[in-house]
Amino acid sequence: VGEFSLIDKYFAARGRARPDVVLGIGDDAALLRCPPGQLLVVSIDTLVSGVHFPANTAAADVGYKALAVNLSDLAAMGAEPAWATLALTLPGEDEAWIAAFCDGFFELAESTGVALIGGDTTRGPLTVTIQVHGWVPPQQALLRSGARPGDLVYVSGTIGDAGLGLAHAQGRCNLDPGVASDCVRRLARPQPRLELGHALRGVASAAIDVSDGLSADLGHILRRSGVGALLELDSLPWSAAFRANAACAEGLVVQQVDGVPAAAAFSLCAGDDYELCVAVNPRNQDLLQDIAQRTGCPLTCIGRIEAQAGLRVRLPGGEVVPFLPRGYVHF
């Protein structure tokens, strides 16, 4: 089958219709109606086989994750998602692979109300680029640049699970079989925190999603905001699966950081969790607990924004030391 019958069969016929899509797949470009008074929010991300996911990743997981990591960027802006475009480069015409990819992609697209409005399929090494489009009212977007000294630092859910899942999938550690699939699923099917991001409009002073690792991503907030932070290592939110495999995490840390427990260092540097890390003025603490309850998404206070630049951590013994993201290579 040629490019056009592939597109018709697997892409154009699927996914939800939205009344704001005037013209979708099938012409030189898509035509879209914009809601008045909102800002358009766009983000584009590429996943390369063998770089951003192991080459043997199931096609459905590739489709799901490629959309999820992009929607996670919209979540981190507090935006409501609307549309996606998909540029898919494939080494061959493996219809079963494409069908499975679409199953994963559209599962998430449908549950988040996202319409696929256009794309391009090309021949070459397996690469998936997705651009997502969403909406946020002016002045309500969550930026990286709004953190202020005195703000509290929160992270949603738990961190480190996807990092363990990746190491397990790569054969670099052996997780307890009872929890391995939880971690691998966390890696394969990240859940973009869209509802949480939306709820944090007007509440968080800064936000980012945790894709490269909590310390690296918080570092972007610190640089853009011109501030620093102190994190409490005792407060890092770990899942039961992570706690049960802390020894695995310790074994994966390439470079020891003086005094920092290895499992804590791992969970600060491991990527792919797609949680939100936010800075919040202390006066909004109560609001935050309401939001956690309403969205069913735990929020843990892990530290505080400080005027002094750089990232520091308080060791279990009470000592405060600088912490630079290090010793962990994504894939």
Closer CB to its own copies, residue 46 or residue 300? 46
Distance CA 152, CA 130 (A): 33
The DSSP code sequence of 193-260 is -HHHHHHTTTTEEEEEE-SS-HHHHHHHHHHHHT-EEEEEGGG----HHHHHTHHHHHHT-SS--TTS
Chain residues in the site for its own copies (CB under 8 A) = 22-23, 26-34, 36, 38-52, 73-74, 76-77, 79, 85-87, 89, 117-120, 122-125, 127, 129, 131, 133-134, 136, 138, 141, 143-145, 207-209, 224
Closer CB to its own copies, residue 127 or residue 239? 127
Least CB distance to its own copies at residue 46 (A): 5
Least CB distance to its own copies at residue 72 (A): 8
The DSSP code sequence of 107-135 is HHHHHHTPEEEEEEEEESS-EEEEEEEEE
Least CB distance to its own copies at residue 233 (A): 26
Closer CB to its own copies, residue 127 or residue 215? 127
Closer CB to its own copies, residue 113 or residue 178? 113
Least CB distance to its own copies at residue 234 (A): 28
Buried b / exposed e along 247-264 (16+ C-beta atoms within 10 A): ebbbebbeeebeebbbbb
Distance CA 162, CA 267 (A): 10
Least CB distance to its own copies at residue 286 (A): 26
Closer CB to its own copies, residue 50 or residue 259? 50
Nearest to 200 by CA among 138, 280, 303: 280
Other Cβ atoms within 10 Å of 137 Cβ, number: 15
Closer CB to its own copies, residue 122 or residue 174? 122
Least CB distance to its own copies at residue 316 (A): 31
